[in-house]
Amino acid sequence: MDAPLALMGFAIATSATPGPNTLMVSAAAAQVGVRRVLPHMMGVTLGFPAMMVAIGMGLDAPVQALPWLHGLLRAAGSAWLLWLAWKIASAPPPGEGAGRPPLGFWGAVAFQWINPKAWMIALAAVPAFTSPAAPMLPQVLPLAAIFAACTLPTLWLWAVIGVGARHALATPRRLRVFNATMALLLVLGLAPAWL
C-alpha cells in the first residue's frame, strides 16, 4: 500500500457517497432510530472489508474466468435491491407495524456480496492499492481495516440524517414520501450496473 492518504480519501469518498448501504441505513434509521439500525451498520462495516479480503485473496478469479457469473451476481443483487426498495417504500410510519429495519447484522454482511457498488469499489481498490509483486494478505488486511474505519462513521452520519428526516417528516404522509424517495434513489442507483 503505497499511498495511505489516497486510500483514506478513496475509502471516505466511496463509503460516504449515496449507495445501497447508505440509503438503506438512512431509511431504516428514519423508521426505527439509530440504535436499532446499529446491527445493520455493523454488518456493512465488517461485511464489506471481509469481502474485500476475499477478493484480494483470489475470489475475483472465478468471476473473471466465468463472465456469466458476474451477470448472475448483478441480476441477483438487482433483484434484492428492488425487493429492499419495495420494503423501504412500503414501510409503515413509526408506531405502526413491526418497525424492524430491513436488514440485521447477517443480512447486511450477506448483502455486500450482491451489492453492485460494493463489488465495484472492491474490484477497483484491491488492484489500485496492492502490488502483485508482494504477498497479498499483508496488503489487503490494512486496506480492509481502513475501509472498516471509514465505513461506520459515514453510516452513522447517514443514520443521523435519517433520524433528522424522521423529525422533520413528523406526519405519516411525509414519512411515506421520504421512504418512497429513498426507495426510488435505491432503484436509480441500479442504473450504472446495467448501463
Q: How many CB atoms lie within 10 A of CB 86?
A: 14
pTM: 0.73
144 contacts 50 by C-beta, under 8 angstroms: yes
Residue 4 has pLDDT above 80, yes or no: no
103-122 average pLDDT score: 88
How far apart are the C-alpha atoms of 133 and 77, rounded to whole Å? Answer: 33
37-52 average pLDDT score: 95
Q: pLDDT by residue (tens digit) across 48-103?
A: 999 999 988 886 677 667 777 766 766 776 676 677 678 777 776 655 545 566 68
